[in-house]
Chain A
Amino acid sequence: MIGRLLYDSKGVYEDQIASMRKATVNQTAGAMDFSLLTDGLRAEREQGITIDVAYRYFSTPRRKFIIADTPGHEQYTRNMATGASTANLAIILIDARFGVLQQSRRHAFIASLLAIPHIAVAVNKMDLVDYREDVFEQIRADFEGFAEQLQIADAHFIPVSALLGDNVVDRSERMPWFKGAPLLEYLETVHISHDRNLTEMRFPVQYVIRPNLDFRGYAGQVASGVIRKGDTVMVLPSGRTSQVQKIVTYEGEIAQAYPPMSVTVCLEDEIDISRGDMLVPPLDAPYVSTRFEAMAVWMNAAPLEIGRTYLVKHLTQQVTASVTAIRYRTDVNTLEKQETDRLELNEIGAISIETRRPLFFDPYRRNRTTGAFILIDPITNSTLGAGMITDRETAAGRSAGSLLDAVRYEPGTGPRVTAGERFARAGHRAATVWLSGVEEIAYLAERKLFDHGCLVHVLAGETESHILPELARISNAAGLITICSVPVDDPQERERARGVVGEERFVTVDAAAIPGGVDAAAEAVCRKLEEQGIIRERRSDPFTGGDGI
């Protein structure tokens, strides 16, 4: 099939065809054996099978393609998973004579497991069923019935004959009943730009570039979302925030970066950041946890076992981990879930993992970059398996200001509610606003923030000023936004409060520095909280506001 695609789209060179013809003569087959083009290793050519993933390249005037050609037998499930991991689209071949077989189900399951966004189902060997429409339609119905269980978003069916070239590159005249596009045309036009996650910004730091004392840049590839100059970002795991000062490339500074761009980000503040850290939006942070659930594909002859120590490589982190549970194994042919205490080579199962240090991740279905990891044997150094983090709510929950809590959290002991959960419920981070000016400003700001849905309160007047910082700290721990109203800005008091509350949660507003009346000052408080990423941006009117689609 791949050979036909390459051959008809002129992706093969003459000398390669000549050497393929030469090799075909040595065997019994009559028609040209296109697999000789793709099966590159001697063992494969000798045995006539595709063992390993082979990457092939071709382009048409409309698009450039990379084909990961993977074997289809069950004992090569791991190779299929490998090829699928980077694919935008999977072509699943179904033999028209036999219909949807176990093998087709397995292929569809793996494509779905690895979250390949698009599936082209090529019903092949139509020439051997007299190009009958009813055969094709029956296969389509069978496949769709099966695919329903599998979260396959986009499946497209095409009747083809790879041997004779029908509907591969050129439209078949022998199947006038098929009105759709031939395979290549479909491949050229399928929309893939929205396969990327452009909503949740994730920038894993790969490497710190520091050529001299004046430059400190964080090099990395944008995993998802868009990072812009001026954005407030939070650094994981420290939780500190800063603004993007500039985005540097060899060609010059740029205003924004998106996946899969490799750029270098400089921040306004000197923060200690190293490889393994991640820049994220303060209000849209990933999960931060040492525990998570995942689907794993096992790729080694030595089975995965509970309690064994492995290394997890996830984004730019490599951490020691252990598998704490195997929830079930999925039979790749029937999709049946079975109880087990191990995963053998090529088996797929749901596992629970605990890591030494917290990882920053999103569920794989939502983010194919931050949700993926590999398992490595710390002794042999082999790559043992691949994992896709599942949606299951993790112990630590979705977290922003709760990083240390997430690390310390132990189920069954001490507090059962984490700061991450508080954050998730409140929809904003906890903070202390140190507001100097008349009390009226504090109450006006409180009203505005309350109307915006915030958990907010004012400490003023009756409160003895020397215990204000301690009270604010306690209120912040409960997840609240605390406005401390003080009559004038006393630098000594302010800095003591900053020390008690913590830099991350401390916001200062001096009304004396803001022109306009009390209302303008209250508005300034809200704006500052927005700018620092503590609350979500307020929109003018939820019904006419411009965020809809």
Chain B
Amino acid sequence: MAVDRFALTHLRALEAESIHIMREVVAEFSNPVMLYSIGKDSSVMVRLAQKAFFPGKIPFPLLHVDTTYKFSEMIEFRDRFVKEIGADLIVHTNRQAIADGANPFRLGTQKCCGLLKTRALLDALTEGGFDAAFGGARRDEEKSRAKERVYSFRDGFGQWDPKNQRPELWNLYNSRVDKGESIRVFPLSNWTELDVWQYIHVENIPIVPMYFAKEREMVVRGGSLIPVEQEIPLLPGEKPEMVLCRMRSLGCSPCTGAIRSDADTVPKIIQEMMLVRRSERENRVIDHDQEGSMEIKKREGYF
């Protein structure tokens, strides 16, 4: 077989698709924003944005919805990273809910997420008058996301109607919205977790050190490893122990479990990924608090 001179690796093809999507959004919307969660997918998304508008700067701000339950390592990383790349960062917190005592231990994870993530996100989007918001969600993450569009329409209340999604064909995206409505845009829709790691490796993209294995103080609860950070209430009989582990995905400290792992470099993580037999959001408590829970959260406006 002749060597194909015009072949593109699958990572470069994904990259080209994501860049195309970002440029479409900037060209067609008046006020886009990028949701920045500090996680690995966000890091990849930011790199793609740098590429899409090179040699210009990223032409939209980054928005971090801070629940105040994020790990301190994440916040340190965020501030350093954003400064390095010269991006504009907006940090939004639902101060009212925090003042009223919202926390996952008292309210349960569903209510807590509703107030500190979903409500806060919707408020921040309304406050900024953003008509498009990039999110790093991938279709391979969770069942209900497999049917998500690249351009996901949200009504005036930021809500998703899965039965009434706009058909999406080829790479022709419908950007039409009325005042108050918006589009969540998912440029990483077609990336898998493995693609993300391979890209981080190939591109040498900085990520939060918590993704790498290290001895950490953990509470073992129901098969999950919960990091001891902030004041996590211990159940009877529980006591923290040092475990060699890493985070496979990053959320709020009370709701993000770690996995036992000795992968302390990106290549080792990729190797682990290729052997792993469990999905990445398995350690995210919120996905499992009830049947079809991600779909319900998304309908309400969660991203």
Residues of A within 8 A of B (CB): 10, 13-16, 38, 40-43, 45, 51-57, 59, 64, 66, 78-79, 81-82, 85-86, 193, 196, 198, 206-207, 209-211, 215, 217, 219-221, 226, 248-250, 258-262, 264, 275, 299, 311, 313-314, 316, 368-369, 372-374, 376, 381-383, 386
In the complex, the chain B residue whose C-beta lies closest to that of A369 is: B170
In the complex, the chain B residue whose C-beta lies closest to that of A386 is: B169
A41 touches B20 (CB 8 A): no
B261-280, CB < 8 A from A: 276-279
Residues of B within 8 A of A (CB): 4, 6-8, 10, 12-13, 15-17, 19-20, 23-24, 26-27, 50-57, 139-140, 142-147, 162-163, 165-172, 174, 176-178, 189-190, 192, 194-195, 276-279, 282, 292, 295
A59 touches B194 (CB 8 A): yes
User: Which interface residue of A85, A260, A368 has the most chain B CB atoms within 10 A?
Assistant: A260
B7 touches A374 (CB 8 A): no
Known contacts A196-B6, A198-B6; A55/B178 CB under 8 A: no
Contacts of B176 in A (CB 8 A): 311, 376, 381
Q: Label chain A's interface by main secondary structure.
A: mixed
B169 touches A207 (CB 8 A): no
Contacts of B292 in A (CB 8 A): 42, 45
In the complex, the chain A residue whose C-beta lies closest to that of B169 is: A85
B54 touches A250 (CB 8 A): yes
Contacts of A206 in B (CB 8 A): 20, 23-24, 27
B6 touches A209 (CB 8 A): no
Contacts of B146 in A (CB 8 A): 38, 40, 54-56
A82 touches B167 (CB 8 A): yes
Contacts of B24 in A (CB 8 A): 206, 316
Q: How far is the CB of A301 from chain B (nearest CB, A)?
A: 11
Bound-state Cα–Cα, A206 to B173, Å: 13
A57 touches B278 (CB 8 A): no
Known contacts A43-B163, A85-B169, A316-B27; A383/B147 CB under 8 A: no
Contacts of B10 in A (CB 8 A): 64
In the complex, the chain B residue whose C-beta lies closest to that of A315 is: B172
Known contacts A15-B282, A226-B6; A57/B139 CB under 8 A: yes
Query: Which of B144, B170, B277 sits near A41, CB closer than 8 Å?
Result: B144
B51 touches A313 (CB 8 A): no
Query: Which of B23, B170, B277 sits near A262, CB closer than 8 Å?
Result: B23
In the complex, the chain A residue whose C-beta lies closest to that of B15 is: A262
A15 touches B178 (CB 8 A): no
Known contacts A40-B144, A226-B6, A383-B174; A260/B16 CB under 8 A: yes
In the complex, the chain B residue whose C-beta lies closest to that of A51 is: B163
Contacts of A275 in B (CB 8 A): 27
B20 touches A262 (CB 8 A): yes
Contacts of B277 in A (CB 8 A): 10, 13-14
Q: How far is the CB of B297 from chain A (nearest CB, A)?
A: 13
A249 touches B167 (CB 8 A): no
Contacts of A15 in B (CB 8 A): 278-279, 282
Q: How far is the CB of B132 from chain A (nearest CB, A)?
A: 14
Bound-state Cα–Cα, A15 to B143, Å: 13
Contacts of A81 in B (CB 8 A): 169
Q: How far is the CB of B102 from chain A (nearest CB, A)?
A: 27
Contacts of A52 in B (CB 8 A): 147, 162, 165
Query: Which of A10, A38, A57, A211 sits near B140, CB closer than 8 Å?
Result: A57
Contacts of A215 in B (CB 8 A): 55
Q: How far is the CB of B85 from chain A (nearest CB, A)?
A: 12
16 more contacts with CB within 8 A, not counting A41-B144, A45-B292, are: A40-B143, A41-B295, A54-B147, A56-B140, A86-B171, A209-B53, A211-B56, A219-B23, A221-B16, A221-B19, A258-B8, A260-B16, A261-B16, A381-B174, A381-B176, A381-B178
Query: Which of A55, A260, A262, A299 sits near B189, CB closer than 8 Å?
Result: A55
Bound-state Cα–Cα, A397 to B189, Å: 39
Contacts of B169 in A (CB 8 A): 81-82, 85-86, 372, 374, 386
Contacts of A82 in B (CB 8 A): 167-169
In the complex, the chain A residue whose C-beta lies closest to that of B165 is: A52
Contacts of A13 in B (CB 8 A): 276-279, 282
Contacts of B282 in A (CB 8 A): 13, 15
Query: Which of B15, B172, B178 sits near A313, CB closer than 8 Å?
Result: B172
Bound-state Cα–Cα, A210 to B140, Å: 36
Bound-state Cα–Cα, A316 to B21, Å: 12
Contacts of B15 in A (CB 8 A): 262
Contacts of B295 in A (CB 8 A): 40-42
Known contacts A14-B277, A55-B189, A250-B54; A313/B147 CB under 8 A: no
B167 touches A299 (CB 8 A): yes
Query: Which of A211, A316, A381 sits near B55, CB closer than 8 Å?
Result: A211
Bound-state Cα–Cα, A10 to B174, Å: 35
A41 touches B162 (CB 8 A): yes
